[in-house]
Amino acid sequence: MIAEIIINTTAKRLQQTFSYTVPDGLAVRVGSRVLVPFGHRREEGIVVALHEQLDEPADFTLKPVEGLLSTQTGFQEEMIRTAIWIRDYYVCNLSEALRLFMIDKKGLVRQEILSVGPAAPVSPEGRQLQAYVADKGSREKGSLVRRFGRDLVETALARQVLTSRTYYKNQIADKMEDWLSFVHDDDEDILHGRRRQQELLQALKEKGEGAVSYWQGQGYSRDLMRRLCATGLARWSQRPARTTNILPTLSGDAPFTLTPEQRQAVKVIGSDEQGKTYVLHGITGSGKTEVYMQLASQVLKEGRQVVVLVPEIALTGQIVRRFLRRFGDDVVVMHSQLSQGEKRNNWLRMQNGTSHICIGARSAVFTAAQSIGLFIVDEAHDSSYKQDEAPRYHAVAVTRQRAAYYGCPVILGSATPALGDYYKALQGDYVLVELTERVGQRPLPSVQVVDMRDELARGNYRVVSDCLLNLLEETLAARQQAIILLNRRGFSTFVMCRKCGYVVKCDTCDVAMVYHRQAAHLRCHYCDAEKPVPTVCPSCGSKYIKFFGSGTEKVEQQLHELLPSARIIRLDQDTTSRKHSGDRIIEAFRRHEYDILLGTQMVAKGHDFPGVSAVGILSADSLLNIPAYWAGERTFQLLTQAAGRAGRGDIPGRVVMQTYAPDHYVIQCAARQDYRAFYDQEIQFRKELGYPPFQEMAKILVQDESEEQVWRKANDVAAALNSWNGDHGDEVAVIGPYEDVIKKIRNKYRLVLSLTGKDLTAIKKAMQRIPACWQTGVLIDVDPV
Ligand code: ADP
Ligand code: ZN
Ligand code: ZN
C-alpha cells in the first residue's frame, strides 16, 4: 500500500502531497494522522489517499510511515473530501482546510528528549553538558539549548555525546464521567423488596443509559446505583465527559402539539430521501425551533446525528437550552469559550457517537461524527456564517457539501432568508417550506414609520422621536418591556473641531475614532486602539471641539433622562466582552429585571421575549448607505428581525421605525414585514446589475503598508486578470482596483478588485494568473458577503 500524505503545516512549499509506503500491520486509513520521516526530521502527516501502487514508478525508494499518531482524533474520509472541496472552492491550502476540522490545531506536541550518548566529550563545555544530562536523567532539547547554547548542543548531538529521541504527546487527557447503563432484567426477582432499585432499573430500561450525575438529579443516590450494579442488572462505566458550559436551565420547555403548518413542515422535511436543502421560511414567532426539534428527534430514533448551527452562541443561549432540556445528555455545545480539553471531549463524543446532537456557532459545522442525519442552520441569513479570515468559507456551503456525502437534508431556517437561497428555492434547486403564521394566531406587530426630518423641523433634536417616546411611556405604564435597536456602539460616533473641521482619526486606520464615555476615551472600532479625549483641537488649538453622532451609550443616557423610572440594560460589544455576559443580560431581561433592552444588532438575534410589546428602531437606514450590493438585503433583514421581537407574548406588538428615507422600498417592505415584496424588487435589481445570484463573484483584497506600492500591486493584479480575460473572450468582468470602504486598517492600505462572471471556474482560472511574487498581501474571497 502507498499512502499519499500531506504534512500538517501551513508552509506553502509543503502543500503538495508526498508518498510513503505503509508497513504491513499498521492500520493506516484515509484520514489517519501519522508520523513520517521528512528530510532530517519527523513530521506529522495526514493521509489523504491510499493507493495500491504508484501511478508512475518513482526513481527513488519510498520511505515508510513510521507510526500512527492519535488514533482518536484522526479524520474520516468524508472530512478529507470536504477539506479538498474547501481548498478548491475557496482557494486555500489543503492543510488550512484540514485544520478547520481539528481540535488540536497545532498538531501533536513534539518534544525532542536528549540523553547521554555513547561517545566521550572532548571539550570542557561538552563535559559539563554531559554531566548535567547524566545527573538529570534525560532532558528536553529546548531547555538544554536555552542553558548551554544551540551550538554546543548540536555539536554534542553530532558527535554522539548526546542522543536524541522524539516524543509526541497529546496535550489533553480525556475528562471522564461516570455512566450507568441498563444490562438486562431477566432475573429481576433478585431485587425483591428493594423498591428504589427496581424503579431505577425500570427507568434505565426505558432511557437506556445516562450519566450518573443525571440519575442523581432524578433522586437516586450513588450508593443505590452501586448496589444495583453489584447485581449485574446494570453497569457502571466511564466515558469522556460532555461539556455544555452554558448557564443553567431557567424555565421549562414542554413539547408542543404542532400547528398545522409546523406539522406539514416536519412531514415534508422528515420524509426527505435525497438529501435536499430546505429553505424553512418562517415568519418571526412561527415556531421554527419546535420544527427543528421534532425533526431532530426523528433522526435520533434512526441512530443518526444532528448538527445545529446558530449565529452566535452567547446570544442564542435560548435555543441551546431548549435542545438541552429536550435531549439532555445527547447534546454537546461547542463554543469558543470552552477549554481545549472540553472542546476535545465534545468532539470525541460526536466522533464516537456517544452524543447525537452538536450545537454551535459557525465552526461547529466541522464537528466530527459517526453518521449525520440532519443539518440545521438557524437564522441562515446571518452574516456570521461567513468566516472573514482564510479560509473564507461559508458554513451553509460547507453543510451542503457534508450533507451530500451523508445523503441527509439541510434546513436553512429564517424569517428573512438570504436572497440567493430563496432564489434557489424558487428555481427548484432547494425546496421552499413556509410557516406563514405566528404560533397561537398572534398577529405580526404593527409598524409606524417616523420621518426624522419632520422631527427636526418640529425642533426635536433628540435621537428618540416623540412618537417612540409615547410608545415607551405607554409600554412602561402597562408594565411591559421594550427593545431599542441602534446599530452604533459607543457614545458619540465622531469628534470634530467646529472651527477648522478636524476630525480625530485613528493613527493606523482611516476611520474616525468613537467616543466611549464610560471608559472615558476614544476608541477605533477597527483595531481597538485608544486615545485620550482631547480638550482642545489637536490641529488648530481651538476649544470648540465637539462630539457628534450618537451611539448606544448616549442613547442610554438620554433614555435615563426621558424615562427616569425605567430600568435599562445595554447589549453591545462593550457590555458583552466578558464570558457569558451576553447570555446573562438576555436572561435578566427575559426575567423582567429590566424594562428596556437597548443595543446593536445583537438585540435582533432571534430572541423570544414574551414580555416585549414594543420595539424602537432608531436609525433604520444606517446600513442602507453602505456602498455594497447587499446593503438593501442586510437592512431589510435587520429591520424585520428587530420588529419581529415585538408581540411574541399575549400582547400585540408595536414598532416605531425612525428613518430619513421613509419612502425607500426597503424601509417600506420591512415596515409591512413583507418578505416577498422585498424579494421581488431586490432580485430585479440584482438581475439588472448582474449581481449574485445571477453571476458568480469573487473579491480580491490587496494590502500594503505603502500607498504607492498597494496601487502598483493592485494594478499588476488587474493587468494579469485582464490579460487572462483577453485570451478567453472576456468571460470575467474585472472591476477595480478601487479603495475599500475603509481605506486603511492597521497601517495597511486596502484596494479591492471585484470579479464577476457566469462561471466560477473561469474566475478561479483567471486568478491563477496573479503573479506569484504578488501573492503576499493579496487575499481572495470567493462568494464575498
Ligand atoms: P421563531 O424561531 O420561528 O421566531 P420560536 O421557535 O421562538 O419562533 O417560537 C415562538 C414561540 O412559540 C416560542 O415561545 C415557542 O415556545 C412557542 N411555540 C412554538 N411552537 C409551538 C406550538 N406548536 N404550540 C405552542 N407554542 C409554540
Ligand atoms: Zn484603528
Ligand atoms: Zn480645529
3-state DSSP percent of the chain in helix, strand and coil, to 5: 35, 25, 40
Question: Which three cell numbers mark 389?
Answer: 479570515
| pLDDT average, residue stretch 239-260 | 61
CA of 701 to the centre of ligand 2 (A): 18
474 occurs within a structural domain: yes
515 occurs within a structural domain: no
- The confidence score (pLDDT) of residue 242 equals 62
CA of 641 to the centre of ligand 1 (A): 15
Is the predicted pLDDT of residue 27 greater than 90, yes or no? no
Q: Is the CB of 413 under 6 A from ligand 1?
A: no
Atom of ligand 1 nearest to the CA of 288: 3
Question: Can you tell me the distance from the alpha carbon of 317 to that of 121, in angstroms, rounded to the nearest whole number?
Answer: 64
Beta strand ranges found along 512-622 (DSSP E): 514-516, 521-523, 530-531, 545-548, 568-571, 596-599, 612-617
Is the predicted pLDDT of residue 244 greater than 60, yes or no? no
Question: Can you tell me the distance from the alpha carbon of 242 to that of 358, in angstroms, rounded to the nearest whole number?
Answer: 11
Over the stretch 489-529, which tens digit does the pLDDT of each residue have?
777 778 888 888 888 999 999 888 998 888 889 999 888 89
Query: How many CB atoms sit inside 10 A of residue 193's CB?
Result: 6
Is 770:721 a contact under the CB 8 Å cutoff?
A: yes
Please name which ligand lies nearest the alpha carbon of 504. Answer: 3
Angle (CA) 677-680-682 rounded to 5° is 105
CA of 513 to the centre of ligand 2 (A): 8
Q: Is the CB of 258 under 6 A from ligand 1?
A: yes
Tell me, yes or no, whether 470 and 573 share the same domain: yes
Q: Is the CB of 649 under 6 A from ligand 1?
A: no
Residue 478's alpha-carbon distances to 474, 593, 696, in angstroms, are 6, 15, 52
Q: Which of 583, 608, 606 is nearest to 246 (CA)?
A: 583
Q: What angle separates helix 581-590 from helix 317-327, to the nearest 10 degrees? A: 80
Question: Can you tell me the distance from the alpha carbon of 446 to that of 199, in angstroms, rounded to the nearest whole number?
Answer: 53
229 occurs within a structural domain: yes
Tell me, yes or no, whether 202 and 299 share the same domain: no
Does 527 carry a binding-site annotation?
yes
Q: Is the CB of 251 under 6 A from ligand 1?
A: no
Q: Which H or E element spans position 134? A: helix 124-136
Question: Which three cell numbers mark 665?
Answer: 422600498
ipTM of the complex: 0.96
Q: For 313, which DSSP code?
A: G
Does 408 carry a binding-site annotation?
no
Is 313:244 a contact under the CB 8 Å cutoff?
A: no
If you average pLDDT over each of 37-46, 237-246, 335-344, 439-448, which comes out highest?
439-448
- The confidence score (pLDDT) of residue 253 equals 57
Tell me, yes or no, whether 487 and 397 share the same domain: no
* Phi/psi-derived region of residue 287, left when phi > 0, alpha when psi is between -120 and 50, beta in every other case: left
Q: How would you label 731-769 residue by residue, b for 16+ Cβ within 10 Å and e otherwise?
A: bbbbebbebbeeebbeebbbbbbbbbbeebebbbebbee
Tell me, yes or no, whether 180 and 227 share the same domain: yes
Is 331:244 a contact under the CB 8 Å cutoff?
A: yes
Atom of ligand 1 nearest to the CA of 286: 3
Confidence of residue 710 (pLDDT cuts 50, 70, 90): very high
Q: For the chain, what is the largest distance between any 2 Cα atoms, rounded to a whole number of angstroms?
A: 95
The residue among 424 and 95 whose pLDDT is bigger is 424
Over the stretch 226-237, which tens digit does the pLDDT of each residue have?
998 888 888 888
Residues forming a β-bridge with 754? 699, 735
Please name which ligand lies nearest the alpha carbon of 380. Answer: 1
| pLDDT average, residue stretch 367-395 | 93
CA of 388 to the centre of ligand 2 (A): 18
Q: Is the CB of 289 under 6 A from ligand 1?
A: yes
Lookup result for grid cell 468566516: 387
Q: For 593, which DSSP code?
A: S
Burial class (CB in 10 A: 0-12, 13-18, 19+), 252: exposed
- The confidence score (pLDDT) of residue 106 equals 58
Is 263:603 a contact under the CB 8 Å cutoff?
A: no
3-class secondary structure for 609-643? CCCEEEEEECCCCCCCCCCCCCHHHHHHHHHHHHH
The residue among 488 and 431 whose pLDDT is bigger is 431
| pLDDT average, residue stretch 736-765 | 91
Does 497 carry a binding-site annotation?
yes
Is 300:330 a contact under the CB 8 Å cutoff?
A: yes
Question: Can you tell me the distance from the alpha carbon of 380 to that of 310, in angstroms, rounded to the nearest whole number?
Answer: 8
If you average pLDDT over each of 118-132, 301-315, 672-686, 750-764, which comes out highest?
672-686
Question: Can you tell me the distance from the alpha carbon of 100 to that of 402, in angstroms, rounded to the nearest whole number?
Answer: 14
Question: Can you tell me the distance from the alpha carbon of 163 to that of 156, in angstroms, rounded to the nearest whole number?
Answer: 8
535 occurs within a structural domain: no
Task: Name the residue range of residue 95's domain.
Answer: 2-107
From 107, 132, 150, give the residue that closes a domain.
Answer: 107
Atom of ligand 1 nearest to the CA of 610: 14
Pocket test for ligand 1, best of 250, 251, 256, 416 (most atoms within 8 A of CB): 256
517 occurs within a structural domain: no
Over the stretch 601-651, which tens digit does the pLDDT of each residue have?
899 887 889 999 999 999 888 888 777 889 999 999 999 999 999 998 888
- The confidence score (pLDDT) of residue 32 equals 86
- The confidence score (pLDDT) of residue 107 equals 54
Question: Can you tell me the distance from the alpha carbon of 367 to that of 223, in angstroms, rounded to the nearest whole number?
Answer: 36
Lookup result for grid cell 437564522: 379
Question: Can you tell me the distance from the alpha carbon of 756 to that of 696, in angstroms, rounded to the nearest whole number?
Answer: 6
Q: Is the CB of 605 under 6 A from ligand 1?
A: no
Question: Can you tell me the distance from the alpha carbon of 721 to that of 736, in angstroms, rounded to the nearest whole number?
Answer: 11
Q: Which of 337, 358, 336 is nearest to 346 (CA)?
A: 358
Atom of ligand 1 nearest to the CA of 258: 23
Angle (CA) 708-712-718 rounded to 5° is 145
Q: Is the CB of 434 under 6 A from ligand 1?
A: no
Is 46:10 a contact under the CB 8 Å cutoff?
A: no
Is 571:512 a contact under the CB 8 Å cutoff?
A: no
Instruction: Give the contacts of 10 (CB within 8 A, at least 6 positions apart).
Output: 93, 95, 96, 99
Q: Is the CB of 318 under 6 A from ligand 1?
A: no
Question: Can you tell me the distance from the alpha carbon of 754 to that of 658, in angstroms, rounded to the nearest whole number?
Answer: 34
Is 234:201 a contact under the CB 8 Å cutoff?
A: yes
472 occurs within a structural domain: yes
Report the number of secondary-structure helices (H) and strands (E) in the chain.
23, 33
Tell me, yes or no, whether 429 and 554 share the same domain: no
Q: Is the CB of 290 under 6 A from ligand 1?
A: yes
Pocket test for ligand 1, best of 250, 283, 286, 290 (most atoms within 8 A of CB): 290
* Phi/psi-derived region of residue 601, left when phi > 0, alpha when psi is between -120 and 50, beta in every other case: alpha
From 61, 86, 107, give the residue that closes a domain.
Answer: 107
Q: Which of 62-76, 114-128, 371-385 has the lowest mean pLDDT?
A: 62-76
Tell me, yes or no, whether 336 and 204 share the same domain: no
524 occurs within a structural domain: no
Tell me, yes or no, whether 203 and 337 share the same domain: no
Number of domains in the chain: 6
Question: Can you tell me the distance from the alpha carbon of 28 to that of 63, in angstroms, rounded to the nearest whole number?
Answer: 15
- The confidence score (pLDDT) of residue 251 equals 39
From 408, 441, 474, give the residue that closes a domain.
Answer: 441
Is the predicted pLDDT of residue 759 greater than 70, yes or no? yes
Instruction: Give the contacts of 257 (CB within 8 A, at least 6 positions apart).
Output: none
Quote the mean pLDDT of the chain: 87
3-state class (DSSP) for residue 13: helix
Tell me, yes or no, whether 397 and 325 share the same domain: yes
| pLDDT average, residue stretch 256-271 | 95
Percent of the chain with pLDDT over 90: 46
Tell me, yes or no, whether 485 and 573 share the same domain: yes
User: CATH number, domain at 18?
Assistant: 3.40.1440.60
Question: Can you tell me the distance from the alpha carbon of 634 to that of 695, in angstroms, rounded to the nearest whole number?
Answer: 19
- The confidence score (pLDDT) of residue 650 equals 86
Over the stretch 132-156, which tens digit does the pLDDT of each residue have?
998 887 888 888 999 998 999 999 9
Tell me, yes or no, whether 280 and 224 share the same domain: no
Does 358 carry a binding-site annotation?
no
CA dihedral 583, 588, 589, 592 (to 10 degrees): 160
pTM: 0.82
- The confidence score (pLDDT) of residue 249 equals 39
- The confidence score (pLDDT) of residue 115 equals 87
Confidence of residue 243 (pLDDT cuts 50, 70, 90): low
Is the predicted pLDDT of residue 353 greater than 80, yes or no? yes
| pLDDT average, residue stretch 692-700 | 92
Confidence of residue 585 (pLDDT cuts 50, 70, 90): very high
3-class secondary structure for 467-504? HHHHHHHHHHHCCCEEEEECCCCCCECEEEECCCCCEC
Q: Which amino acid is at 467?
A: C
Tell me, yes or no, whether 220 and 355 share the same domain: no
Question: Can you tell me the distance from the alpha carbon of 19 to that of 661, in angstroms, rounded to the nearest whole number?
Answer: 63
CA of 509 to the centre of ligand 3 (A): 20
Is 251:590 a contact under the CB 8 Å cutoff?
A: no
Tell me, yes or no, whether 358 and 422 share the same domain: yes
Handedness of CA 632, 638, 640, 641 (dihedral sign): positive
Q: Which of 40-54, 406-420, 711-725, 732-746 has the lowest mean pLDDT?
A: 40-54
- The confidence score (pLDDT) of residue 565 equals 94
Q: For 576, which DSSP code?
A: S
CA of 657 to the centre of ligand 1 (A): 25
| Full DSSP string of 339-401 | -HHHHHHHHHHHHHTS--EEEESGGGGG---S-EEEEEETTTT-GGGB-SSSS--BHHHHHHH
Does 229 carry a binding-site annotation?
no
Confidence of residue 171 (pLDDT cuts 50, 70, 90): very low
Question: Can you tell me the distance from the alpha carbon of 246 to that of 324, in angstroms, rounded to the nearest whole number?
Answer: 10
Burial class (CB in 10 A: 0-12, 13-18, 19+), 36: buried
Over the stretch 96-121, which tens digit does the pLDDT of each residue have?
898 898 876 555 556 678 888 888 88
- The confidence score (pLDDT) of residue 677 equals 97
Q: What are phi and psi of 532, to 5 degrees?
A: -70, 160
Atom of ligand 1 nearest to the CA of 289: 6
Does 500 carry a binding-site annotation?
yes
CA of 501 to the centre of ligand 3 (A): 6
Instruction: Give the contacts of 407 (CB within 8 A, at least 6 positions apart).
Output: 274, 275
- The confidence score (pLDDT) of residue 341 equals 76
CA of 322 to the centre of ligand 1 (A): 11
745 occurs within a structural domain: yes
User: CATH number, domain at 408?
Assistant: 3.40.50.300
Over the stretch 650-678, which tens digit does the pLDDT of each residue have?
889 999 999 999 999 999 999 999 999 99
Over the stretch 532-555, which tens digit does the pLDDT of each residue have?
988 899 889 999 888 887 888 889
